[in-house]
Amino acid sequence: MGHVLTSTRPDPREVPTYGLAEAAHYLGIPFATLRSWVAGRPYPVADGQNFFHPVIDIADKKGKRLSFINLVEAHVLDAIRRREHKIQLPKIRKAIGYLKKEFQSKHPLADQQLETDGLDLFVQKYGQLIDISHEGQLAMREMLEAFLKRVQRDPRGVPIKLYLFTRRGEIDEPLNVVVDPTISFGRPTLVGTNIPTSVLAERFKAGDSPEELAEDYGRPKKEIEEAIRYELKAA
């Protein structure tokens, strides 16, 4: 009777793949901000200093490396940070703690429940925590929806792809640059291909035109330009 072999390969979505600088680069988030979210930071008080604990539970705390799921969490948290209010880290942590309790989830910002039946609940609670108006809450909901739409999920609701912003500041941007943990070691690629956007940018900086790159790779010029724009923006 033969033995049944079971796979011991780790889920690529959970593997600690991204260093802090790399993740900040991909997401367009300031390094210091991302570091505060995932590693915490000290802050001064009258008799010395206290410590803000992290708001995202990353895959490798010791090495400070993020998984793909962590990347999705930081992407969604960035939507919250984009509000014009100066939001303190403890209030962000409290809002996420509320989500963890409601959803019974270790990674609530990446949980499908946030997208399906929890968004209004979270926005209302979050609005109470930071005391924003109803109009402000509606704006928050619109921003969160736009960010969540850039997360592609499998039939079980698990994030499998993250479409990165190429321009920043524009909610309805093209979905031309994607992070898929199963392609190119989880590095940003041109959508529908395994071509790293960094390769396209290097060739562009070396003198190749978008038209030449589009012909070489058999992709529309507009897609090539968006990929190059993303890399140059990130740089």
Give the domain extent around 215: 164-235
Question: Confidence band (pLDDT; 50, 70, 90) for 8?
Answer: low
Residue 125 lies in a domain: no
Pairing of strands 151-153, 159-163: antiparallel
Residue 93: the pLDDT is 81
In terms of C-beta density within 10 A (0-12 exposed, 13-18 middle, 19 or more buried), how is residue 135 classed?
A: exposed
Angle at 20 between CA 158 and CA 113, to 5 degrees: 25
Residue 10: the pLDDT is 84
Q: How many domains does the chain have?
A: 1
Query: How does the average pLDDT of the chain come out, rounded?
Result: 86
Residue 208 has a CB neighbour count (10 Å cut-off) of: 16
Residues 81, 33 contacting (CB under 8 angstroms): yes
Residue 196: the pLDDT is 96
CATH code of 230's domain: 1.10.10.10
Residue 209 lies in a domain: yes
Give the integer Cα–Cα distance in Å for 173 and 210: 19
CA–CA distances in Å: residue 79 to residues 17, 39, 190, 198: 23, 19, 23, 25
Residues 53, 39 contacting (CB under 8 angstroms): no
Mean pLDDT (whole number) for 143-150: 90
pTM for this entry: 0.86
Q: Does 161 or 121 have the greater pLDDT score? A: 161
Pairing of strands 177-179, 189-190: antiparallel
Residue 79 lies in a domain: no
Residue 185 lies in a domain: yes
On the question of pLDDT at 56 being above 60, the answer is yes
Q: State which amino acid sits at residue 77.
A: L
Question: Confidence band (pLDDT; 50, 70, 90) for 2?
Answer: low
The most confident of 1-5, 191-195, 230-234, by mean pLDDT: 191-195
Residue 158 lies in a domain: no
Write the pLDDT tens digit of every residue in 74-110: 999 988 877 555 566 777 788 888 888 888 888 989 9
DSSP state of 110: G
On the question of pLDDT at 42 being above 60, the answer is yes
Residue 233 lies in a domain: yes
Among 16-25, 99-108, 116-125, which is the least confidently predicted range? 116-125
Residue 85: the pLDDT is 52
- Residue 65, φ and ψ in degrees, nearest 5: -120, 140
CA–CA distances in Å: residue 231 to residues 40, 179, 187: 28, 13, 12
Residue 195 lies in a domain: yes
Percent of the chain with pLDDT over 90: 52
